[in-house]
A and B are shown apart, each in its own frame.
Chain A
Amino acid sequence: MSTTPQAPSTPPSTDTTSLPAEGGFIGSGQEGGVLDQARAYVQRVRSGEMGALPAIGGLVVLVLLFTLLSEVLLGQQYFLTERNFANLLTQAASLVMLAMALVFVILLGEIDLSAGVTSGVALSAFVVLTKPDGVNMNWIPALIIALLTGLLIGTFIGFFVARVGIPSFVVTLGLFIGLQGVTLILLGAGGVFRIQIPEILAIQNSNLPVWGGWVMLAVILLVSFGMSMWDRTLRTRAGVPNRTIALVWLKLGVIAAVGGFVVGVLSVNRSSSIKVIEGVPIVVPIVLLILWVGTFVLDRTKFGRYIYAIGGNAEAARRSGVKVITIRWAAFIVCSVLAVVSGVFSASKVGSVNAGFGVDIVLSGVAAAVVGGVSLFGGRGRLMHAAIGALVIAVIANGLGLLNLPAGVNYIVTGGVLVLAATVDAVSRVRAGGSLFRT
């Protein structure tokens, strides 16, 4: 692998046949104005690369539906309120995090059914270690140990899947069962441990000061702008065309509008008592930071690129010199560690850890990723898609809960949405695949 700059192979100057012929222009998809780019985007969507579009559409429809149903069935607006909005974000945080964790293995075409119970084991270790009338460890080393527990379990899964070659479904199903036992032994039968660490509880139950929310938005805009400009500088230096600058402003405009709306709503006092509750929940910037770092890794580093390559065609990746075993292994470790983070959010929200911790959430996490447009076949999907998919599932649970409908309805609707999303995915694959056989 050479890192020295090399001139690309050029033909001998006498060889006129290999000079670019007229009409031999090879584009980069960056040319043209906003309209050309919009047209190209529509073209991509129509050829099956829909990304999170169906999930975003679903999110809008669900919000409208629940707003309407709340008015009609309850005679009062419970859904579309500042308080419920903040509540929704904290309810969704754990699922968003777990769905993002799972993306790393789903992109490989693998699955981790034990992601939820992994967080259960890690959080059990955490509560046992920090118990005031027990070990009474400081929360920071205890949290590090919890994360290392995730790393250890991820290493274990990765060994069996990537090195030994056992299907991840089987390995993680085994762990799904086995790790529940570990949790049970750690906590003791019937044990419920309250989280008593103020810093952990604060993640989901405290808010940034109002100005903190606006600073967060400003940082997001600045980072986004900086990265766009950095990309453009590199492209200019390489002598390849850039997309029209208008698209950068458009992107920043959308972030400013959506972010401004969210921060604005969360900055209103949403308390029904004298105590003021306002500001962005602390969990939001944490999730956004992890989303940003994860997306950066997936889009711009070898580790991320190779995950996509292996998910697309593992044999091609291997023949290209990609260390397939190492990448697969590492992806399972990343998944397990991020799953523990999801567990921390969940424990912070619920306020306790019991033996069933993390058992139910994992399939919702897979569902969230699929609803968001991450393909279970591997190779297609982004962290943002999984996050949006998780929001869809969280909105269903939240909205139906407010309507006082029986709990069964929640499951039925969530299942229906999952199948619908999978159908959209399959249909888009057929459309995209249709062009495979065109010659």
Chain B
Amino acid sequence: MDEPLIELSGILKSFGPVNVLKGVNLKAYSGKVTALVGDNGAGKSTLIKGLAGVQPYDGGTVRFEGREVHLHTPREASHLGIEVVYQDLALCDNLDIVQNMFLGREESAGVIFDEGRMEREASETLRSLSVRTVKSVRQKVSSLSGGQRQTVAIARSVLKKAKLVILDEPTAALGVAQTEQVLNLVRRLADQGVAVIIISHNLQDVFKVADYINVLYLGTMVASIATADTTSDDVVGYITGSKTYDGASA
């Protein structure tokens, strides 16, 4: 087995008296899609927010490319090459696609923006992901459909050669065709050598796209398993707590 790109061990997080994460372990590999599943309140979002540096963990270690790292701000996470695409799409409606993709990391020529360069890089990134649904990169995001927005959000995450892309419920609000498109996009991301962590409630999607499945149950990682070695029924069992997993960790 290769070295994991990122390895979380013994992650703790609590909000006041509520222990949301009780010593969680997780690994993700470059070029692989790692799914994170679990019922509402299992702690998935909290785990992700810690990785993004938005809401730092209380305890535990994070090793990235073999080194121990501390994630306290979005900037630190982004600097390492960790990008998160949130469920409630973190895009600004009043800005256009290029402006959104470069938000927080604009290219400048001197003190002022180099809009031409940003526009080219944005177009090329969208093209490299085979995005065909967007008419113009200078469209305002408010004029895009749900699938197009998800596409822009994902393209934004890979713009700066991200090593780890985390997708929080990327298909939750999408129709059948758009879900298919986004899942293909996820696969292409991994094929480009990116480590992808995908959070989803939809097991059908998970089995279609993921290489590994990790199940979170009430703040504890109860199963880490290769997709090929398990079945949908088993995973449902782990999620609801009606089955326990005792195999070797993936």
B contact residues around A273 at 8 Å (CB): none
Does A321 sit at the interface, judged by CB under 8 A? yes
CB distance from A106 to the nearest CB of B (A): 13
Does A87 sit at the interface, judged by CB under 8 A? no
A85 to B142, CA, bound (A): 41
Most buried by A among B74, B95, B134: B95
B contact residues around A26 at 8 Å (CB): 123, 126-127, 131, 134-137
A231 to B112, CA, bound (A): 11
Residue of B nearest to A47 (CB): B143
B residues 117-173 touching A (CB-CB < 8 Å): 117, 119-121, 123-132, 134-140, 142-143, 145-147, 158-161
CB <8 Å contact, B93 and A379:
yes
CB distance from A3 to the nearest CB of B (A): 8
A residues 1-55 touching B (CB-CB < 8 Å): 1-3, 6, 8-12, 15, 17-21, 23-24, 26-30, 47, 49
CB distance from A45 to the nearest CB of B (A): 13
Does A238 sit at the interface, judged by CB under 8 A? yes
Point out the residue from A21, A309, A380 that lies within 8 Å of B132, measured CB to CB.
A21
CB <8 Å contact, B142 and A433:
yes
CB <8 Å contact, A321 and B188:
no
**Which of B97-105, B201-209, B231-239 sits within the interface?**
B97-105
Residue of A nearest to B187 (CB): A17
CB <8 Å contact, B90 and A320:
yes
CB <8 Å contact, A30 and B130:
no
A18 to B191, CA, bound (A): 10
CB <8 Å contact, B114 and A309:
no
Does A439 sit at the interface, judged by CB under 8 A? yes
CB <8 Å contact, A10 and B128:
yes
B contact residues around A49 at 8 Å (CB): 140
CB <8 Å contact, A2 and B109:
no
A423 to B129, CA, bound (A): 42
Does B198 sit at the interface, judged by CB under 8 A? no
CB <8 Å contact, A240 and B160:
no
A residues 87-116 touching B (CB-CB < 8 Å): none
CB distance from B207 to the nearest CB of A (A): 21
**Which of A175-183, A278-286, A310-318, A354-362 sits within the interface?**
A310-318
Given the known inter-chain contacts A15-B191, A234-B115, A235-B116, please indicate yes or no for A319 contacting B145, CB distance below 8 A: no
Most buried by A among B54, B91, B116, B117: B116
A residues 165-182 touching B (CB-CB < 8 Å): none
A contact residues around B116 at 8 Å (CB): 231, 234-240
Residue of A nearest to B139 (CB): A29
B contact residues around A27 at 8 Å (CB): 135-138
Residue of A nearest to B185 (CB): A18
A contact residues around B211 at 8 Å (CB): none
Does A300 sit at the interface, judged by CB under 8 A? yes
CB <8 Å contact, A18 and B130:
yes
A237 to B117, CA, bound (A): 8
CB <8 Å contact, A436 and B90:
no
CB <8 Å contact, B119 and A240:
yes
10 residue pairs of the A-B complex, CB under 8 angstroms, read A3-B107, A8-B121, A8-B125, A17-B188, A28-B136, A234-B109, A318-B74, A319-B52, A319-B90, A322-B103
Name B's A-contacting residues (CB within 8 A): 52, 54, 73-75, 78-79, 84, 86, 89-95, 99, 103-109, 111-117, 119-121, 123-132, 134-140, 142-143, 145-147, 158-161, 175, 178, 188, 191-192
Name A's B-contacting residues (CB within 8 A): 1-3, 6, 8-12, 15, 17-21, 23-24, 26-30, 47, 49, 231, 234-240, 296, 300-302, 305, 308-309, 311-313, 315-322, 379-380, 432-433, 435-436, 438-439
